[in-house]
Structure 1
């Protein structure tokens, strides 16, 4: 505790909270989390009379502004997403499993830990096709054996942020996803109480299998061959589009918002709050600017000015079909 009360050493401690193990500056969100943890530890020391006061003021912890919004260049458009998902099916031995797994993320915006927790009984799929429904209840994030009570790879207890234990949500199942899941279940003759996504050798479908499968398919679809000094071609991906599996969820939520689905409804389907949803995807919403500009023009016109008939103007989305996140590419991934 003497080191904490020494001004010079305390300054060194605060500096250490702002850098990674490699010495590089940490992200703002990491710095904020580290300071909050240290604040709580020192608060406990004060309660135990080991310190007279907490040297870290709560205001200092909260004043770092973190950037929530994702880079829209990460969002895959419909063509890119479908081509990459299709490439997965050719992989052996887990390609068809990973394809269906990631299709749930792209068409229903589920998180990976939510997809892996699904049972067959959690998906309502009309036999004739069309819209279905997915019930999300008990996510199982993969955090490693060292950090779970029972030594399992996945945490069986954790709930999504801001949701009570046992709370469920219902997500619409896009018709194309309904067809994919119907074929997937039929091919494996799965029963209602079976896990929807199991590994080739049983157990849960491993996160590393999903990530490796996605990385390979992404390289095939989005990569390009670059000639090296020795004349040999090396395939690389020089864009950040779809860099992470989670970007499939981003693509789906961006598509819903760009389709005009109310943010409150999208937030409910996504398992987010409306403020978090809008802060995260603010830079990915597109296709509505022209409509907003017309409204501004109408509001600022001088009195007595005649408005231009709406039919005389080009539609806001001229040159393409309505952007709905699944039927046509969104500009974010181009």
Structure 2
């Protein structure tokens, strides 16, 4: 509540303490206030401010006794203080992969938003301290103390970190955005990675606006364009059905005399190619989610995925997350029709290897979840067996995810309605047509033959004679 009923008294000297002090006294709406200063000059200056505000007709707050012109602004949080505050708010409700992205972005920005205080740690130590300790919320509580180098590095960051308000300076904001184009090791980041980190930073700064630390999001005030993101799948990665069969056959020979490593994964990769499943969806597939008749089409009822994210981000001490389908609510399911070829492959796999304790179709020798590094390494070995040296050196089926690209492209090229393909794939039609409407490998050669046939006069040479 504001009041203009203000009375300011003369300064009173306090002689009771060993060192004399000076007290400014005033009253607002009958309520007394006072403030003590060590020197008379400071007291005179403060009293003059009260008198000036009163004569100007300012309203004095009846709780604090101060006019708006004398209210001390709260010191701005440093970037590092704010980043820790944001992390504590966001971490408990974030998915493991989101935690990883958040940690990476906060670490990168924090290495940029520091002043020039002496004693800056080596870059490797600074990254380790921020990424491994400061921005991993709760993971080190109750555990060992951080190494001395880490503690010293974090103490330096706390002192050297620039004020959050500095981001309102376009030059500072631009330097942060430019830093997003690099990985933590200083090498260029992929366009998709830059886009993801920019989205995280924008979300962080929206929170600063929400709690009143910033008046507006400074990201929007800078004319900065991220690297162009390729929205379409590279057609060179898409394999044709013959190549797919050769790759699946080659898988059965990988590690043939050592735990049948490749043979255990034939059906896993077949689910990606014949069913269009994402790798994490295939890894999490359980026998109770499958309808596998002896003849004809079957069906998968997908509802869980098992992406590899790392112990640091799951919060459970396990490497794999256990979550719902991408872009769907936690309990939503997606039925996927299964062609007879895949039904036979999965039935054969179950007959040979059985299932894990929880019903998972695909598991390692110890019954654990198959990690992305494990199936990616096996896939590289299968490519070397099935493809020519030129194809191995090319992007053709370079990653397991390219099997899904091939599946969706094949369905579209076969004339399947895009809405049906999108439903099976778990995408929107817009995303599907933007990313997956690709031709099969070798399709251009077929088109060239058909065009050439239009011009062929039967002699095997082009007719270039003139006619009257």
Give TM class, smaller chain: 0.7 to 0.9
Match of 1:142 in 2: 308
Match of 2:412 in 1: 257
- Secondary structure of the 1:57 match is helix
The answer to whether 1:103 aligns with 2:292 is no
- Secondary structure of the 1:195 match is coil
Whether the aligned pair in 2 keeps the contact of 1:69 and 1:279 (CA below 8 Å) is yes
Which residues of 2 match residues 309-320 of structure 1 at below 5 A?
Answer: none
Q: Quote how far apart the aligned CAs of 1:14 are.
A: 2.0
Match of 2:280 in 1: 113
Match of 1:220 in 2: 385
Q: Quote how far apart the aligned CAs of 1:111 are.
A: 0.8
Deviations along 1:201-225, one digit per CA (max 9) or x if unpaired, are 2112232221111100101122429
Q: Alignment partner for residue 203 of structure 2, among 36, 40, 44? A: 40
In the superposition, the TM-score normalised over structure 2's length comes to 0.55
Q: Quote how far apart the aligned CAs of 1:151 are.
A: 1.5
- Secondary structure of the 2:172 match is helix
Whether the aligned pair in 2 keeps the contact of 1:106 and 1:249 (CA below 8 Å) is yes
CA distance in 2: counterparts of 1:189 and 1:28, whole angstroms: 42
Whether the aligned pair in 2 keeps the contact of 1:75 and 1:250 (CA below 8 Å) is yes
Match of 1:240 in 2: 395
The answer to whether 1:279 aligns with 2:434 is yes
CA distance in 1: counterparts of 2:203 and 2:288, whole angstroms: 43
The answer to whether 1:94 aligns with 2:249 is no
The two structures, once aligned, show a CA RMSD in angstroms of 3.1
Higher RCO, Cα 8 Å, sep 6+: 1
CA distance in 2: counterparts of 1:58 and 1:271, whole angstroms: 36
Match of 1:132 in 2: 298
Q: Quote how far apart the aligned CAs of 1:25 are.
A: 4.2
- Secondary structure of the 1:178 match is helix
Deviations along 1:276-324, one digit per CA (max 9) or x if unpaired, are 11100234379999xxxxxxxxxxxxxxxxxxxxxxxxxx8999xxxxx
The answer to whether 1:84 aligns with 2:247 is yes
Structure 2: unaligned runs, 5 residues or longer: 1-163, 445-449, 454-468
CA distance in 1: counterparts of 2:442 and 2:396, whole angstroms: 20
CA distance in 2: counterparts of 1:317 and 1:182, whole angstroms: 44
In the superposition, the TM-score normalised over structure 1's length comes to 0.75
CA separation of 1:41/1:106 partners in 2, compared to 1, >3 Å: closer, same or farther?
same
Deviations along 1:143-202, one digit per CA (max 9) or x if unpaired, are 1111102121111134312x1221111111111111111111122344996221111121
Match of 2:167 in 1: 4
CA separation of 1:63/1:241 partners in 2, compared to 1, >3 Å: closer, same or farther?
closer
Q: Quote how far apart the aligned CAs of 1:11 are.
A: 2.5
CA separation of 1:130/1:61 partners in 2, compared to 1, >3 Å: closer, same or farther?
farther
